[in-house]
Amino acid sequence: MSHKKHKAAAHEEEHENHERWLITYADMITLLMVLFIVLFSIGQVDLAKFQALKHSLSSTLGGGPAKPNPVISGGAGVLTAGSQISGAVPGGSGSIGAPVAANQAQVALVQQKAAAAEQATLNGAERQIQNALTGKGLQDAVSFRLELRGLVVTVVSDNVLYPIGSAVLQPEGRTVLDALASALDGIPNDIAVEGHTDSQPIVGGGPYPTNWELSTARATAVVRYLIDDHHLDPHRLSAAGYADTRPLVPNTSPANEALNRRVEIVVLNQPATSSQTGPS
């Protein structure tokens, strides 16, 4: 019996492992190795791709192929202490900064020329409209102002375009629109027609319950006349009604209210296109 107990104790001592810590230590070393591999991969520079990017930028912005001088001096792995990158910072003294600055100056110059040409177009349209109206004795029927969005031609509604509370064009209003149409047809700009009223509510019923319907109907009538009678491109035209929300002057007197009852024909500035702004 004692012999069996002694043999069992010897068997347990034989299988006891006093070096289990080596497994944990090996796992830690493996994880550290993986960490260093990941860090090495993140810090590695693909010189071939960087070289191709530099040559592509130099060729595009500099107007010609780049010289085959190396961009980075050093090995093909992680940058060494003596490695240098030349011409890679825009605005610097390298081969990319100067072309970028020159390209920006060229874009600014093209934009200035486009703005000057657009201004000349709007000024020419204003002179043409004034001359046409003066020849018919209607030079006082409209007024002009320049805004950021374009040339605004204001036509007073009362006794010119419409009777009060109506959206039916009067003969004198048609004559004014005839003079405007000849000038509008000769320019490529889009045209927005906007109807405005005073702040007095509509009373007595009728086809227009509020000033919103009246102002919109007046703008639409002008658009239809320009399309139907003068064959302006409908894709260039738009109509909108603003009721009394955009007065020129406060509605504090009958004279001011008459000024606010108006239709505005806006010759819109042409949006800048890629051909106007130069190379990107």
Dihedral, CA of residue 106, residue 111, residue 117 and residue 120, to nearest 10: -130
Output the six-digit token pair for 139.
């030079």
Do 217 and 94 share a structural domain?
no
Q: Which CATH number characterizes residue 166's domain?
A: 3.30.1330.60
pLDDT tens column, 220-257: 999 999 999 999 999 999 999 999 999 999 999 999 99
Task: Tell me the pLDDT band of 81, cut-offs 50, 70 and 90.
Answer: very low
Measured distance CA(42)–CA(20) in Å, rounded:
34
Local structure of residue 16 (DSSP, 8 states)? -
Contact status, residue 261 vs residue 208, Cβ threshold 8 Å:
no
The answer for residues whose C-beta is within 8 angstroms of residue 125's C-beta and 6 or more apart is 151, 183, 184, 186, 187, 267
Do 67 and 139 share a structural domain?
no
Measured distance CA(116)–CA(5) in Å, rounded:
110
Does residue 48 lie in a domain region? yes
Do 263 and 124 share a structural domain?
yes
pLDDT tens column, 31-67: 888 888 888 777 665 666 666 666 666 665 555 554 5
pLDDT tens column, 163-205: 888 999 999 899 999 989 988 888 889 999 999 999 999 887 7
Residue 224 has phi, psi (to 5 degrees) of -65, -40
Measured distance CA(111)–CA(42) in Å, rounded:
43
Instruction: Identify the weakest region by mean pLDDT among 91-105, 110-124, 208-222, 227-241.
Output: 91-105
Supply the pLDDT for residue 84.
Answer: 47
Give kind and range of the element (H or E) at residue 210.
none
pTM above 0.85, yes or no: no
Give kind and range of the element (H or E) at residue 157.
none
Do 267 and 146 share a structural domain?
yes
The answer for residues whose C-beta is within 8 angstroms of residue 200's C-beta and 6 or more apart is 251, 257
Residue 244 has phi, psi (to 5 degrees) of -105, 20
Does residue 257 lie in a domain region? yes
Does residue 78 lie in a domain region? no
CB-CB neighbours of 19 under 10 Å:
7
Q: What percent of the chain has pLDDT over 90?
A: 33
pLDDT tens column, 268-277: 988 654 334 3
Provide the number of structural domains found in the chain: 2
Domain containing 94: what range?
Answer: 2-73+83-99
Supply the pLDDT for residue 6.
Answer: 54
Output the six-digit token pair for 104.
């920006």
